[in-house]
C-alpha cells in the first residue's frame, strides 16, 4: 500500500465525515481467514478479471479525507512551513543577489529564482493518513480463473476508483482515471459488492470485450509508462458469493459518476472506460448518465 493525500488535500470543501477509525487504512482478508464484520469498519468485495494473456493490474482506491483529517493536514503543513520559511527566504535572497551581480557585470543570469515563500506554494510531503491504496493482487479471498475475488476491510467513507497499478510489483498509482471515473460510499458495518474490475494495456486492442472500444491506441499512448485502460461492471443480481460469506449480508455498491480531478503523482492519465447506466462521455465532458448532467469532480462528490 502507499500514501497519497496531497491531491485530495489540495482541494477545498470536502464532505464532512466521521474521523477515521483506529487501525490500518485497509486490510485485505486472505483466503481461509475468518470473517468478522466490525461495526466501526467498512467492507467491500471486488473481483479482478484477468483472462489468459492479459497482464495483472490492481485497482487503486482513494478515500476522501474526513474533516478531522483535513484539519490535521493543515496544522502539520503550517508547522512545517513555519520551520522551513527562514531557509526558503534565504535561498531566494541568495538567488536574487547572484542575479544582481550577474546583471551588474553585464552577464546573463540563467539560474532559477525561487518563488516568494508561501503556505500555498510550499512543497509539503505529508506522512499522515494513508488514504490511497491498491488492492494487492497477491492477497485474494477466493482464487479463481479468470476472476480473483478480494474482500477488503477499510475505513468507512466516500471512495473514488482512483486508477490502476501493475500487479505483483511496485504498488503505486501507475495510471490515474483523472479524466472520469466512478465513486461509491462504503458505510460502517456493511459489506458492499463493487462487481468486477477490468484492466489491460491500452496500446493494443484488448481481448476483454468491456475494454475493446477504448484500447488499440498504439505505442504512442504510453507516457512513457504503459497506459492502462480500465473499467468496472456492477455486480449482477443473483451473483454467487463464496461459502465463507454465508450468512453475511452483502449489498451492491451504488456507483456514481465522478468528473475530472487532479493528481500530480500518476505515471499516466486516462479515463475509466464508460460504465453503462452510470458513466459516459460527451467529448471531453464526463456525464452522469442518471442525471444527464456533467459530473462533479472527485473533491468533493457533492
> CA separation (Å) from 222 to 25, 177, 190, 301?
31, 15, 39, 30
Contact 269, 176 (CB under 8 A): yes
Give the list of residues 6+ apart from residue 109 with CB closer than 8 angstroms, or none.
98, 99, 102, 103
Q: Are 270 and 199 in contact (CB under 8 A)?
A: no
Separation in Å, CA 61 to CA 92, 163, 173, 298: 39, 7, 10, 12
Confidence (pLDDT) at 298: 77
Q: Which among 216, 133, 140, 229 is positioned nearest to 177, based on CA atoms?
A: 229
Q: Maximum CA pair distance of the chain? A: 82
DSSP 8-state assignment for residue 211: G
Considering Cα of 11, then 16, then 17, then 23, what sign does the dihedral take? positive
Q: List the chain pLDDT tens, one digit each, 302 residues.
A: 333 343 343 333 233 333 444 457 899 999 999 999 999 999 999 999 999 999 999 999 999 988 888 899 899 999 999 999 999 999 999 999 999 999 999 999 999 999 999 999 898 888 777 788 999 999 999 999 999 999 999 999 999 999 999 875 545 678 999 999 999 999 999 999 999 999 999 999 999 999 999 999 998 888 778 899 999 999 999 999 999 999 899 999 999 999 998 887 788 899 999 999 999 999 989 999 999 999 998 775 43
Q: How far apart are CA 171 and CA 166, in angstroms?
A: 7
Q: How much is the pTM? A: 0.83
Residue 157 corresponds to which cell in the numbers above?
467513507
Q: What per-residue confidence (pLDDT) applies to 19?
A: 41
Backbone angle region of 211, left / alpha / beta, with phi > 0 → left and psi within -120 to 50 → alpha? alpha
Determine the pLDDT at residue 23. Answer: 59
Phi, psi of 241 (to 5 degrees): -110, 155
Q: What are phi and psi of 82, to 5 degrees?
A: -60, -35
Helix (H) or strand (E) holding 98: helix 67-104
Closest CA to 279 of 261, 259, 263: 259
d(CA 100, CA 114): 15
Quote the CA–CA distance of 5 and 298 in Å, as a whole number: 13
Amino acid at each position: 500500500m502507499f500514501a497519497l493525500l496531497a491531491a485530495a488535500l489540495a482541494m477545498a470543501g470536502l464532505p464532512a465525515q466521521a474521523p477515521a477509525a483506529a487501525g490500518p487504512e485497509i486490510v485485505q482478508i486472505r483466503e481461509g481467514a475468518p470473517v468478522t464484520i466490525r461495526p466501526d469498519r467498512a467492507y467491500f468485495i471486488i473481483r479482478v478479471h484477468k483472462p489468459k494473456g492479459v497482464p495483472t493490474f490492481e485497482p487503486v482506491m482513494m478515500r476522501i479525507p474526513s474533516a478531522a483529517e483535513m484539519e490535521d493536514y493543515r496544522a502539520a503543513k503550517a508547522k512545517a512551513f513555519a520551520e522551513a520559511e527562514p531557509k526558503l527566504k534565504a535561498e531566494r535572497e541568495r538567488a536574487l543577489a547572484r542575479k544582481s551581480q550577474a546583471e551588474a557585470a553585464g552577464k546573463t543570469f540563467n539560474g532559477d529564482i525561487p518563488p516568494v515563500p508561501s503556505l500555498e506554494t510550499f512543497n509539503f510531503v505529508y506522512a499522515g493518513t494513508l488514504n490511497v491504496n491498491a488492492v494487492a493482487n497477491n492477497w485474494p479471498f477466493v482464487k479463481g480463473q479468470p476472476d480473483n475475488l478480494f474482500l477488503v476491510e477499510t475505513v468507512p467513507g466516500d471512495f473514488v476508483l482512483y486508477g490502476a497499478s501493475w500487479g505483483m510489483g511496485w504498488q503505486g498509482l501507475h495510471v490515474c482515471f483523472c479524466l472520469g471515473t466512478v465513486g461509491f460510499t462504503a458505510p460502517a458495518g456493511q459489506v458492499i459488492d463493487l462487481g468486477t474490475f477490468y484492466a489491460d494495456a491500452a496500446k493494443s486492442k484488448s481481448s476483454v470485450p468491456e475494454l475493446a472500444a477504448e484500447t488499440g491506441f498504439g505505442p504512442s499512448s504510453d507516457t512513457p509508462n504503459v497506459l492502462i485502460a480500465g473499467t468496472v461492471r456492477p455486480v449482477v443480481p443473483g451473483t454467487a458469493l463464496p461459502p465463507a460469506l454465508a450468512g453475511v449480508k452483502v449489498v451492491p455498491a451504488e456507483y456514481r459518476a465522478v468528473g475530472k480531478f487532479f493528481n500530480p503523482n500518476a505515471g499516466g492519465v486516462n479515463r475509466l472506460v464508460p460504465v453503462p447506466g452510470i458513466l459516459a462521455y460527451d467529448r471531453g465532458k464526463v456525464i452522469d448518465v442518471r442525471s444527464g448532467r456533467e459530473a462533479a469532480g472527485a473533491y468533493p462528490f457533492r
